[in-house]
Chains A and B, each alone.
Chain A
Amino acid sequence: MTITLVMCFIFVSACIAWFAEGIKENSGRYVALLSMIAISIYLVFALLLSESSVDYSQLQILTRLPWIAHFNIEYALALDYLSIILVFLTLLLAVICILVSWHEIKTKVGFYYFNLLASITGIIGVFTAIDMFLFFFFWEVMLLPMTALIAIWGHENRHFAAIKFFIFTQVSSLLMLVAIIVMSVLHFQQTGRVSFFYQDWLALDVPFKTAYYLMLGFFIAFAVKLPSVPVHSWLPDAHTQAPTAGSVLLAGVLLKTGAYGLIRFVLQLFPDASSNFAPYAAVLGVVSILYGAKMAFAQQDFKRLVAYSSISHMGFVMLALFSFNTIAYQGAILTLVAHGLSSAALFSLAGMIYKRIHSRHLPDMGGFWQHAPRMGGFALAFAAAAFGLPGLANFVAEFLSLVGTYQVYPIHTMLAALGLIGSAIYGMVLFQNSFQGSFPSTKIASFKDLSIREFFVCSLLLSLLIVIGFYPDLILNLFNHSHIAWLTDDVAGAGL
């Protein structure tokens, strides 16, 4: 019931935030912030209490109630370490989101926080739902408020970006819906009972050819979310046009739902089909890494640059996941967390700069260091995290991914490693263009260093990046070789 309670509570506080804003101005954000903190604390304690009795290295079913009896659809939630990590990442970034939009959102504030929290509710549902229909349901629930965030509070070209974002995800998720339905029909044919329950499906024996098509249906939906080349083109637009919190949420968590889907559904439901498809997926991953890095280098827009860098980083995840290797898998999960933190940090930074100079354009920036040394320091650290400086989480993550992948795809890995050089280049381009060089004279008066709130946001993210960078076992211990039973790797294990 824990997760159900958490979701209900978030949604209720979303409604309260909306109404509170109508009664007293500026109260919505306090409601949102306090409730998110309270919920996070509650969840930590609830999990700590239950951990002694329950082993989260396997999926633990929390709730299982009939929902739509006509199709035998259930309301089923489950948790394992993967979902726990991602849920906490979501909650953390939710707090960050509320903090970065503290002064940024000035119109329709109540409705804004409602949408933000509603989207968080959906995302938590996605990470925990284990009935496929329910999963699809949450998959859409997180989408609607996100689209509203982009379309109402976004920048100049927001409608176009919102429609593009919505259509890409919606059409691909319809493919997934068809695959889900086919699976349930297969289940009916084999057992005489319709079922959308994930663990029922694991026991199904799907003919290889059918499995291949079904796998593709799921894969496309998740590849769009991840995003992978060639279905990535919604991402730069959505990121650029979204308000700061929208970008943080998109990059930090929404992209991770794609990776989560690949791990939980594509790889585990269709192991044979996906290992057969793996070479293509690995190529897609490498292309994403190189293409993302190249495109990031060519951008003139701060947020667009970070957006393309996300494509590059998510390429590592794709490559690592499809190498079916424990080390690479650990690397992929660490990448999810590390990229969640570092991209959130960079987008928050973009928001802070935008607030000061009202531009995202790199040529308009420069020389901020003199006026805002603290901000500059953080910016340097976050850029370093993005290009994988040792000591920060991203380094460990990408290193592990590459080490694991090398045992399976040596050539792919060598090419992918070039992406690291690319990331160093665009990282420096980003930093130098904004914080070094000459200061555009017109902006002098208005440029202030970080406020306390902003300082808190940055230092929170940076300290997490450093902690995980120095002590990755914090997360890796949860994903031991013995825990990942579905991963039948023949090559790996050697490194452990």
Chain B
Amino acid sequence: MYDPQPPDVQNDQTVACADARATVVEMADIWKAFDDFQALSGASLELQAGEIHALLGENGAGKTTLSNVLTGIYRPDVGTIRLDGEQRRFHSPAQAIAAGLGMVHQHFRLVEPLTVAENIHLGRPELPRRLSRRRLISETAQAMEQYGLTVNPTARIWQLSIGEQQRVEILRVLLRGARVLILDEPTAVLTPSEATELFAVLRRLAASGRTIVFISHKLHEVLAVSDRVTILRRGMNVATRPAAKMTPEKLAKLMTGTERVMEAPRPSKGRGKPVLELRNVSARGDRGLVSVREASCTVHEGEIVGVAGVSGNGQRELTEIATGLRHPFEGTVAIDGQDLTARLPGDFVSAGVGHVPEDRIGSAIVPSATVVDNAVLRAFRTGELSRAGVMRRGAVRVFTDRLVTAADVQLPDIDVPIANLSGGNQQRFVARREAWAADRLLVAAHPTRGLDVRAADQVREVVLDRRDAGCAVLLVSDDLDELLAVSDRIVVMYEGRIKGDFTAAKARRKEIGYLMGGGDLVGGAGAEAPS
């Protein structure tokens, strides 16, 4: 049901549940910066006994950083943590767990060759002096019964499914005496039925008085399992709300934000021939699950097509398909009418495709190589930089100098490893390099994520310049404001499908948010959302 209540983005974290419960944890005004990236800017969190509290936000919103601060992995730059009303500071995860704050990480901390029972007892404080295999197993079985988490205690970790490994991890944290259990995107690795089982376990734990913090960006799950939701955005609280009063589209709206007004989009000079044509493309993600389903999309010359959606709905895979890094198992990919389905990334590069990937450090940069070598990563085959397989070293250096200047990158000299540059500088460097490489198509995933306002504007300007030069642009972003500001058309991805196709002028935030939350438009593009 869509509730046409006006959006409300005030900071009202004190909305109490009907039955006022005891506050267990209170984090207030937490600030944390990494190098030049401000991860948390005055975030707060209030947890009550016996509740399941969802922590919702896009990638980079600060969810994981906030929970790492709570569990003693990071120390906040500024801010206070109160546990049962008393102020605490944790210098290590061990201190936090001793105080009853336990975290189940996205990547499990289990010892694969050891058995379940052995893993559960590793580092357990009240470990008996004399250990026997039988005792370990019986204590494990007893604990499993107590918490309703059953796994064969004698199985070795590597033999277990991901869902079972997660149960072991949860059990291990519980046996350390955790009263507050934080789960970082626990369902990201689970099948739907495993996720349902996990939710049942979480509800039982909450019913026994424990507090569960559930980190996610999957809206349906958040609503299905949690009592209250705290929404973070750019390291700040947007709102804390009882889940019962929320809908997926309201959550999507709060996550992607409404308060920031960007300059009016510079209109396109008109679109030309189709450049990128995806037809009924389906592909599997890294875990082998189908991540893109029968997606069709055409991007024309001189046009920016924005891809909106909550992260993890197939956007990354879509950009990889459009650049040849991932091969679809059905459907076709064409650039300028040339069928490039199942061709190598090199063929896409030759076809004039530039790509700012989501994971810049991992896949667009060679950290150990120099700035020079990274500058020519895309263009080294062109006649300007090499002839008959021989690099023109002078031209390469001139090219690098020009790129560094254009990208406004601060560095002492171009022969240092690029790993010495800050993240923001690397990002501007990659964005400019790819804009240069993109003769026909620029595929950009979250090109401004983590940048400060000025740098983000610079990068957006690069993207608009490419479009005005007649290049086609496919732009993926979490930030709906940004998409609305620069896109000429907007499509929405949900569970691997492309839904809706809005011309930017007609796009309405409400409808896009509705599609992002999994809704369906009845009359096709531009239709009013059902009420």
A complexed with B? no
A residues engaging B (CB < 8 A)?
none
